[in-house]
Amino acid sequence: MHACLAEPRPTTRMSSRSERALLLWTALSSALTAAGLNLATSVLDHPRAFDSWPALGLPLAAGYALLAAISLIVFGVTAALGRWRGRDAGWLAAATYVALVLAAALAPLIEVGMREASAERAGVVLVCATGFVVSAALAAHAFARAAGAAGSDVLALLPLASASILGTLWLIEYRSEGPGARALVLLAGAAALAASVWVARRCATPRVLAALSALVLGYAGLDALHDPRPALAPLAAAWDRPPVVLITVDTLRADRVLGPDGPRRVPTPAIDGLLADSVVFSEARAAAPWTKPSLATLLTGLAPLVHGTTNRRARLPREIDTLAERLRAAGYRTGGLGLNAHLEPAFGFDQGFDAYAFPARPDYGIALGARVLERLVPARFPELFPSTAAIAGAAVDWIDDHAQEPFFLWVHVLDPHWPYEPPAEWLAHPELEPRRWGEPAMVTSVQAGNVKPGQAERERVAELYAGEIRYVDAELARVLAALRERGLYERALIVFASDHGEEFWEHGRYEHGHTLYDEVLRVPLAFKLSGAEVRTRVDAPVSTAALMPTVLDLLGLPFDEQQLSSRSLAPWWRAPDEARVEPLFAAGTYYFGEKRGVVFDGKKLVLELDTGRSELYDLTRDPRELSSIAAAAPEAVRRGLQLLCAWQDACAELRGRLGLAVAEGETGSEALRAMRALGYAGTE
């Protein structure tokens, strides 16, 4: 039985029937393993996409069919090569098998592991995958034996070798820091591989394989049951606090809802009604130009350079106290619901929420079979993600369920984020076809400048965006009506904001995330106070970083300004003489190089860190930021750079006070170091 591994022998000696059986079963079992592995990973990454047995079984079957065809071709070629070179087909099959499984496993592991937060999940994936590999090989082993194939113990080696290699890769990626630890893991991996060979040759019986399968699957099951979310403490004693509702609308430009009046202003009766009852900050700016860092700031009162949640992988540190955590500790029932992939629990935005419903990303991940079926039978694979209407409905239900207790509800609607696809009833010109704009791939090409829409197309895009805003307004009207009908509206503190705006080629580009111009930074920010009849408009520039301290201040809850990046905005209407205009900062760009911005003395300075290039705009004379006066006003540039340097230092100090590690890349970017060398860093 061990002959095939122990001593090479000419392929011609192996009966061609038994060789064919071995190759056939190896090909089919490796395809099954790869398909199962691929699907298992997708399920872990996108559980909502596979919520029924047909949703699991069909992609598995489709993936298997495709991979089986590929495997048979690959193994056929391998066998032919083996015959040609006079090598043992069993070994070639083994090498091909390991390569196939690794190819199927590596992509998922990389995909899942893209986020640091997913180390635990990646572990579960790995263990499930290993279990699957062992089980599939066990079946193949039995089949090959039944078919009388020689060298079937090769099949026992395959899963063990795959498991050793995958385990080594996972440990290197997630659990070992520094070259010393990695070298140790590599050594251990090599030892495990050698042990695999030994086990396969000496004691690879179905019984041993079954025991191994049970072991890894049992561990996977236990691990999957483990919920990494820390348990919430019991609510503090309930008392009479006003309900708090935070409504954030993704990608909502301030000018579309706040004016000035003109063709671009979108009629939004529900939002207008709310703003009419509120303290409205007409010059509010987001702290970052895209969702994750901006909302992290909004929910924590900390600047992007402090919370560090500024890239695709980053997660909001558990050490930070969020608004939900503060309100929960004060006796509030907390609920967060909405849609945006950057706000998934894996990124730490669920901290402090009793209930948190932000579904996973709008795709099937790397599930090969689901991707194939999505193309072939799109009707069976509809959009998985709740519409704005569904989110509004869920918000109304949540309010119904919690109307009798102090509650904090955060509702985040993804519209009017692209794709712009409003229901026809919300379009001024529904006859304009197509009624959709902004597939991800298309947005990428437009951003890169490879696709340049003409004026007519830009008008159409702006109209679709406006249609999305009308749609959002109509849905938010339902949420506000629910509060009114239950007698909660008057008592509630309702905060309305957005995470960033949207560029429509004002500066030559489209979308958001890469610049700090006002079409992206300026957002609506309003507080409908509880019970009080304060309705006013404040035109001073303020940051959405002030949202959390302002809410705590309004509720009479204590907060330490030394532990936050912003003060409360309440003085702006309580004691306007005491309110101070302070410089506003923005950071955390997503594409095309990091930028920092500061608004001060009616001007805005934007510094590009990679190049050290700065732009300066006089916001009073040139509110559309069309011509930089950096060359003509070196003193103002110097002042802005000093402010940026001082801010960076203040953020680093605050991180220290909060017990957060210094963020990677934040300490000594070249441009800021150069600025310091030039003496820009002053005492502020």
Q: Which residues bind Zn ion (CB under 5 A)?
A: 250, 291, 499
Please identify, using beta-carbon distances, which residue of 250 and 344 lies nearer to Zn ion: 250
Residue 447's identity, in one-letter code, is Q
Please identify, using beta-carbon distances, which residue of 475 and 499 lies nearer to Zn ion: 499
How many whole angstroms separate alpha carbon 602 and alpha carbon 609?
A: 22
Distance of CA 1 to the CA centre of its chain: 51
SS3 letters for 591-640?
CCCCEEEEEECCEEEEEECCCCCEEEEECCCCCCCCCCCCCCCHHHHHHH
Closest by Cα among 151, 203, 206, 202 to 20: 151
Nearest residue to the partner Zn ion, using Cβ? 291
Q: How far is the CB of 295 from Zn ion (least distance, A)?
A: 7
Q: Who contacts 116 (Cβ-Cβ below 8 Å, separation ≥6)?
A: 313, 314, 315
How many whole angstroms separate alpha carbon 511 and alpha carbon 458?
A: 12
Burial of 516 (0-12, 13-18, 19+ CB in 10 A): buried
Please identify, using beta-carbon distances, which residue of 283 and 499 lies nearer to Zn ion: 499
Q: How far is the CB of 528 from Zn ion (least distance, A)?
A: 22
Please identify, using beta-carbon distances, which residue of 97 and 358 lies nearer to Zn ion: 358
Q: What are the residues facing 246 on neighbouring strands?
A: 410, 495
Q: How far is the CB of 343 from Zn ion (least distance, A)?
A: 9
3-class DSSP state of 188:
helix
Please identify, using beta-carbon distances, which residue of 100 and 414 lies nearer to Zn ion: 414
Please identify, using beta-carbon distances, which residue of 250 and 468 lies nearer to Zn ion: 250
Q: How far is the CB of 288 from Zn ion (least distance, A)?
A: 10
What angle, rounded to 10 degrees, do the helices at 89-113 and 53-85 form?
140
Q: How far is the CB of 499 from Zn ion (least distance, A)?
A: 4
In 277-405, which ranges are continuous DSSP H helix?
A: 291-300, 304-307, 323-329, 368-376, 388-402
Radius of gyration of the chain from Cα atoms? Answer: 29
How many whole angstroms separate alpha carbon 588 and alpha carbon 516?
A: 10
Q: How far is the CB of 592 from Zn ion (least distance, A)?
A: 17
Q: How far is the CB of 342 from Zn ion (least distance, A)?
A: 7
Q: How far is the CB of 524 from Zn ion (least distance, A)?
A: 14
Q: Judge whether 607 and 614 are in contact, CB under 8 Å.
A: yes
Q: Judge whether 346 and 339 are in contact, CB under 8 Å.
A: no
Q: Who contacts 323 (Cβ-Cβ below 8 Å, separation ≥6)?
A: 246, 299, 300, 301, 352, 408, 547, 548, 551, 552
Structure-token match 């001082």, residue found: 646
Kindly state the helix (H) or strand (E) to which residue 248 belongs, with its residue range.
Answer: strand 244-249
Q: What are phi and psi of 426, to 5 degrees?
A: -100, 10
Please identify, using beta-carbon distances, which residue of 316 and 616 lies nearer to Zn ion: 316
Please identify, using beta-carbon distances, which residue of 342 and 567 lies nearer to Zn ion: 342
Structure-token match 């099951």, residue found: 221
Q: How far is the CB of 417 from Zn ion (least distance, A)?
A: 6
State the Cα angle at 251 between 245 and 253, rounded to 5°.
95
Please identify, using beta-carbon distances, which residue of 241 and 522 lies nearer to Zn ion: 522
Q: How far is the CB of 392 from Zn ion (least distance, A)?
A: 18
Structure-token match 């190089």, residue found: 593
Please identify, using beta-carbon distances, which residue of 499 and 594 lies nearer to Zn ion: 499
Residue 1's identity, in one-letter code, is M
Closest by Cα among 373, 305, 296, 300 to 340: 296
Structure-token match 């303290």, residue found: 279
How many whole angstroms separate alpha carbon 456 and alpha carbon 612?
A: 36
Tokens in use for 418? 């692209």
Please identify, using beta-carbon distances, which residue of 344 and 499 lies nearer to Zn ion: 499
Q: How far is the CB of 510 from Zn ion (least distance, A)?
A: 15
Closest by Cα among 359, 371, 366 to 39: 366
Please identify, using beta-carbon distances, which residue of 45 and 250 lies nearer to Zn ion: 250
Q: How far is the CB of 335 from Zn ion (least distance, A)?
A: 20
Please identify, using beta-carbon distances, which residue of 19 and 511 lies nearer to Zn ion: 511
Q: How far is the CB of 251 from Zn ion (least distance, A)?
A: 5
Q: Judge whether 89 and 11 are in contact, CB under 8 Å.
A: yes
Q: How far is the CB of 349 from Zn ion (least distance, A)?
A: 13
Q: How far is the CB of 520 from Zn ion (least distance, A)?
A: 10
Q: How far is the CB of 418 from Zn ion (least distance, A)?
A: 10
Q: What are phi and psi of 614, to 5 degrees?
A: -125, 150
How many whole angstroms separate alpha carbon 32 and alpha carbon 63?
A: 9
Q: How far is the CB of 352 from Zn ion (least distance, A)?
A: 21
State the Cα angle at 120 between 119 and 125, rounded to 5°.
95
Q: Judge whether 140 and 28 are in contact, CB under 8 Å.
A: yes
Please identify, using beta-carbon distances, which residue of 64 and 504 lies nearer to Zn ion: 504
**What end-to-end distance do the CA atoms of the chain give, in Å?**
79
Please identify, using beta-carbon distances, which residue of 292 and 402 lies nearer to Zn ion: 292
Please identify, using beta-carbon distances, which residue of 499 and 615 lies nearer to Zn ion: 499
Please identify, using beta-carbon distances, which residue of 325 and 499 lies nearer to Zn ion: 499
